[in-house]
Structure 1
Amino acid sequence: MKKIIVILFTCILAPIAASAQLYWNHANLRRVKSQLDVQPYNSAYLALIKKADVYLTEPHLSVVDDKEHIPASGDIHDYMSIARYAWPDTTKTDGLPYIERDGYTNPEYYTYDREVLLKMVDRVKTLTLAWYFSNNRMYASAAVEQIRVWFLSKNTYMNPNMYYGQVVKGYSSLNATGVLDGAGFVDLIDALYLLDNYRSWGWHRDLRRVQKWFTAFLNWIETSDQGIRESKARDNTGTAYDLQRLAYNIYCRQDDKAQEIFNGFVENRINKQINAQGVQVEEVKRTSSFGYSVSNITVMMNFITIAHNQGLELNPVAQTLFYKAIDYLIPYLDESKKWPYQEIANMKYYRNRLCFELFRISTCLDKSKLEYLKKYELYGKMSENDINNLLYY
């Protein structure tokens, strides 16, 4: 049975500062906006508008649409996903309980709410940036309506929890890694900050309601049994837990917790997940060990970037260890060098992801890391059509 959580709405309802950010630097956005006629910005801008125009033609997404699977609560407003690598047991008539095949995605995974959530976030980000760079209000209007549909509208809102995230069929217990799915919302926050500058009747009232939703969601993350169990995870899921706590506490104006969360991240994620050689000890146990090592670096980089933008910096020991983990992976950008652990996934995809992190480090975090920029340009430079050129270049 679902536990009842008393939700305390503690967000301060003062206007959001124009400089508020998690990842997107507003001064940089203004600089890019003034140079949209030059490369690489022009190609990226045209690609952005083309993508936004497609989104304008599509219906808004919600957690209740085309609900093929109803969670145990019976409430269609409850988010639901299944564990990505859980498959029917072919030795059982009904396939239950599901069994794990690490690294192999069950196609059922795509029929639940996880993919819809990610598409919704991408839609809001794309439409918001299209409005910002073009000054065309129709993009902001569409972004605002999508936000209302997902978080606020009476018939389509999502409940602020993920009790039924990462469900493993055949088991009644709720999965702690369901909390992991909430990390998808972190990428939405910068769009919400930017949309604070959009003027439309009732929007700022609704924006504060969205902020209250995130306060409730944060409360669930920090106090639910699933959240408490996930806080103790020793792998990338624990890193994603910390990322969410940091991002949502900042967005909900509970900035006093940021230092405590940051300290815990250094101690429990960097110091314990990376050994003296730079190996991420839990990630290399996976069947997609390179992929998970890179993915965990991405989440760490997200956390460190947000902290950096709040004035929180890694101490020299933690910084050295973080870069050692990256340096351990860099040689395997070379396709001729064999990765020493098991890897069943597409190495090329994860090589490109690692290159992007090298780019972000050298442009947003530590501009002295010129060797990272050179590796990025050698092995995985973004195309001029990549929208990230507008955010980080």
Structure 2
Amino acid sequence: MKKITAQTLLIIVFWFSQSAFSFKQPLPGKSVIEKAAEATLKQHILAEADWAMKQEPVTVTAFFCSRSAGGKHDFFSEADYFWPDPKNPDGPYIDRDGMTNPDNFVEHRKAMIRFSRIIGALASAYKITGDEKYVKQAVIHFKAWFIDPETLMNPNLLFAQAVKGKYTGRNYGIIDTIHLMEVAQGVIVMENAKAMDPETAAGVKKWFAAYTNWLMTSKPGIQEKLTTNNHSTCWAMQVASFARLCNNQVVLDSMRVRYKTVLLPNQMALDGRFPLEIARTKPYGYSIFNLDAMATLCQILSTPKDNLWVFETPDGKSIKKGINYLYPFVADKSKWTLKPDVMYWDNWPVAQPFLLFGANAYDQKAWLLTWEKLDHDPQVEEVIRNLPIRNPLIWL
């Protein structure tokens, strides 16, 4: 037998290494759940994308409210549940929890939701068709919101959910930018397209990096982080979403730790309900909203090595337990044994993302079937305000 020389061995190793790169490795296919979701949504996605292709950018600079303490580029909104005081009509507004004041300024929020709708539709259509025309249109909107000095939005929420006579802005307003999550995710989906120029992608990431830093270091951001209900969940959900776009692994790791050690153990009861949401005047809607947010956190943060979908606290709390608790009431709302919501009771549920994400994570066909039957295109503003994930395909 001939002795294998070092040179021969080197050639063999080189040949095998080249062979490994010469043959295409099979890419993981779509899950059964993802295929079913695409079949359910495809017609709606293409119709939405057709609408989005015709839309011009409208940013915060298109609207100004004289009650705002900020400038032209500052996002401004007024707290939904604050109203004039009947005993002092010209004085500070008073809180009426759960009761939306239709006269408050929300034009910036509406513009942001419209932006999210546009990018979500374009990214979804690009994902299922590969047509770069959708990316070209998205770039126009990215530049307007994040890069163009005439129309961009400043990367902070200092003046969100203000209260007349009391606050020029509050930490609670940070929840308004949950509607930027599908914008950030849309960038991730479209980033490698030829139509996405590197300068635009870099400019968008720079904006989101600055906003993430503000969320994590500013006084309002820290205050929102330390709340104890859906606001803290949504703070973490946003930070995770934006950090993933910016590939900030340190922040992503910190959000995984926060989910395991703060959000899940402190907000969920042993039976899977969220007591602080149950205590609100809209317990049904807020329970759904918080579960959607926690499920989205799991969808964003889970990795093969750190899968939050299978994480369980020592006393048995888990996202699966949360879904198992709420699912029967979403599948059949007549089973809800607690008080009905004071407003919008008839408008929930819709096609909640926790159903689809959970179905995909646990291969639960019943959850998928329920999701398929629910409304995928809600029109009620309050529902849309509390439904940041309206284009779930870009998250799968």
What SS does structure 2 have at the residue aligned with 1:323?
helix
Please say if residues 78 and 164 of structure 1, whose CA atoms lie closer than 8 Å, have aligned partners that are also in contact. yes
1:53 is the counterpart of 2:50: yes
Partner of 2:238: 244
Shift of 1:320: 3.9
Superposed displacement of residue 380, structure 1 = 6.0
- Mapped to 1, the partners of 2:67 and 2:29 lie a distance apart of 44
User: Superposed, which structure 2 residues align to 1:296-375 within 5 Å?
Assistant: 296-309=290-303, 311-314=305-308, 315-317=311-313, 320-333=317-330, 334-354=332-352, 356-363=353-360, 365-367=361-363, 370=364, 373-375=365-367
Q: Pick the aligned partner of 1:216 from 210, 220, 242.
A: 210
Q: Distance in 2 between matches of 1:27 and 1:392?
A: 16
Question: Does the 8 Å contact 1:290/1:339 carry over to 2?
Answer: no
CA, structure 1 residues 256+378, in 2 after alignment: closer, same or farther (shift >3 Å)? Answer: closer
Q: How does 1:156-195 map to 2 (within 5 A)?
A: 156-172=151-167, 174-195=169-190
- SS where residue 278 of structure 1 aligns? coil
Map residues 13-92 of structure 1 onto 2, 5 A cutoff. Answer: 41=38, 44-69=41-66, 71-73=68-70, 75-92=71-88
**SS state at 1:197 partner:** coil
Distance apart, 1:258 and its partner CA? 2.1
Counterpart CA distance in 2 for 1:306 and 1:362 is: 15
Provide the secondary structure at the position in 1 that maps to 2:73.
coil
Deviation at 1:331, TM superposition (A): 3.2
**For residues 247-287 of structure 1, what are the alpha-carbon distances to aligned partners after superposition, in whole Å with 9 as ceiling and x for unaligned?**
22222222023222211222221101112232311111111
Q: Which amino acid aligns with 1:322?
A: I
Give SS of 1:239's match.
Answer: helix
Give the equivalent residue in structure 2 for 1:381: 373
Distance across 1 between alignment mates of 2:107 and 2:149: 21
- Residues matched between the structures, number: 355
Root mean square deviation, CA, Å: 3.1
Is 1:282 the counterpart of 2:272 in the alignment? no
Q: Deviations over 1:34-54 (max 9, x none)?
A: x8xxx8746733332222222
Q: Percent identity?
A: 23
Q: Report the AA paired with residue 210 of structure 2.
A: A
TM-score, structure 1 normalization: 0.80
Structure number with the bigger relative contact order (C-alpha 8 A, sep ≥ 6) is 1
1:88-237 map, 5 Å: 88-94=84-90, 96-109=91-104, 111-172=106-167, 174-200=169-195, 203-237=197-231
Tell me the CA shift for residue 114 of structure 1: 1.0
Residues of 2 paired with 1:344 and 1:62: CA distance?
32
Change (3 A) 1:156 1:272: same
Structure 2 length-normalised TM = 0.80
Shift of 1:346: 3.6
**Distance (whole Å) between structure 2 residues aligned to residue 331 and residue 217 of structure 1:** 38
- Distance in 1 (alpha carbons) for counterparts of 2:333 and 2:278: 18
CA-to-partner distance for each residue in 1:179-236, whole Å, 9 max, x for gaps? 2122221222221012212224x82112101111111101111111101111110000
- In structure 2, runs of 5+ residues without a counterpart are 1-26, 379-389
- Answer yes or no: is the 8 Å Cα contact 1:128–1:191 preserved in 2: yes
Q: Is the 8 A contact 1:63 1:116 kept in 2?
A: yes
Which deviates more, 211-220 or 100-109? 100-109
